[in-house]
C-alpha cells in the first residue's frame, strides 16, 4: 500500500456500496468502514429540483447509518443524470438503456451528486455538485454494442465515464470525480475544515 494522503481523526463510515466511491476513499489512504442502509433511496417528488432531490436522496441514505453509529463521521452520496428536467435513473433493461443513450448522444446533460456528511456530534451537512457532460453522437449500432458489455445495467444514465463508457463522452465542464460518483474536492474541503481529516505527512 502507498503512503496515505489523509488520515481520519474519528471513525469514518462510507454509507454507500458503490465500488467507485470506495475506491476514492482507498486512494486517499483512508481507514473507513462501509455500512449501507437497505432500501433507503427515495423517489423524486413531482416538480422537485434535481439538485434538491440528489441532496434529499443522499440524506436518506446517510442518516440511518449515522444514527446507528454515533461518534463517527458518516458520508453518503447519491448521483443522478439529468437531461433537461428529466432525472434518469438506472435502466430497467437493455431497451431502456438504449433509449437513454440514444437521447444522451450528441447532447449535453448534467450529472449531479448530492452528498450528506453527518459529523460525530450528530450535525449534518449536505450539498450538491453539478457537472456538465457532452456526449459524442455515436451510431445506434455502437450504443447496442456498448450495452452488450453489460456495463450500463446498474448505472444512472446507462453509462460509466470511468469504465468502457469513457468513449461516449466528448467533454465535461466541471468535476470529473463528481461524474464518477463523488465530488472529492468539495468533500475534502468540508472534512478538513471540520478537522475530520488531516494530511498524513
All domains of the chain in start order, with CATH: 6-199 (3.90.950.10)
Q: What is the pLDDT of residue 1?
A: 52
| Under 8 Å between Cβ of 91 and 100 | yes
Q: pTM to 2 decimals?
A: 0.93
| Averaged confidence pLDDT in the chain | 95
Which of 171, 161, 47 lies closest to 113, judged by CA? 161
Q: Which one-letter DSSP state was computed for residue 3? A: P
Active site members:
78
Q: What's the pLDDT score for residue 142?
A: 98
- The answer to whether residue 198 scores a pLDDT higher than 90 is yes
Place of cell 431497451: 95
pLDDT tens profile 97-139: 999 999 999 999 999 999 999 999 999 999 999 999 999 999 9
Q: 3-state SS string over 25-54?
A: HHHCCCCCEECCCCCCCCCCCCCCCHHHHH
Residue range 147-161: mean pLDDT, rounded? 95
pLDDT digits (tens, 9 = 90+) for 51-79: 999 999 999 999 999 999 999 999 999 99
The pLDDT of residue 201? 81
Q: Which three cell numbers stand for residue 164?
A: 468502457
Phi, psi of 19 (to 5 degrees): -60, -30
Amino acid at each position: 500500500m502507498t503512503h496515505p494522503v489523509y488520515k481520519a481523526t474519528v471513525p469514518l463510515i462510507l454509507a454507500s456500496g458503490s465500488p467507485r466511491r470506495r475506491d476514492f476513499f482507498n486512494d486517499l489512504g483512508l481507514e473507513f468502514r462501509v455500512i449501507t442502509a437497505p432500501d433507503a433511496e427515495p423517489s423524486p417528488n413531482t416538480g422537485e429540483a434535481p439538485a434538491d432531490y440528489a441532496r434529499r436522496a443522499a440524506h436518506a441514505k446517510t442518516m440511518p447509518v449515522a444514527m446507528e453509529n454515533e461518534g463517527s463521521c458518516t458520508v453518503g452520496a447519491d448521483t443522478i443524470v439529468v437531461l433537461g428536467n428529466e432525472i434518469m435513473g438506472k435502466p430497467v433493461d437493455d431497451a431502456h438503456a438504449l433509449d437513454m443513450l440514444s437521447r444522451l448522444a450528441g447532447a449535453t446533460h448534467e450529472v449531479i451528486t448530492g452528498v450528506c456528511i453527518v459529523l460525530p456530534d450528530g450535525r449534518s451537512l449536505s450539498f450538491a455538485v453539478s457537472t456538465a457532460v457532452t456526449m459524442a453522437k455515436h451510431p445506434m449500432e455502437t450504443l447496442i454494442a456498448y450495452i452488450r458489455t453489460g456495463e450500463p445495467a446498474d448505472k444512472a444514465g446507462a453509462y460509466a465515464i470511468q469504465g468502457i463508457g469513457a468513449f461516449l463522452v466528448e467533454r465535461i465542464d466541471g468535476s470529473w470525480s463528481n461524474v464518477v460518483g463523488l465530488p472529492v474536492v468539495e468533500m475534502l474541503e468540508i472534512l478538513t475544515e471540520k478537522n475530520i481529516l488531516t494530511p498524513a505527512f
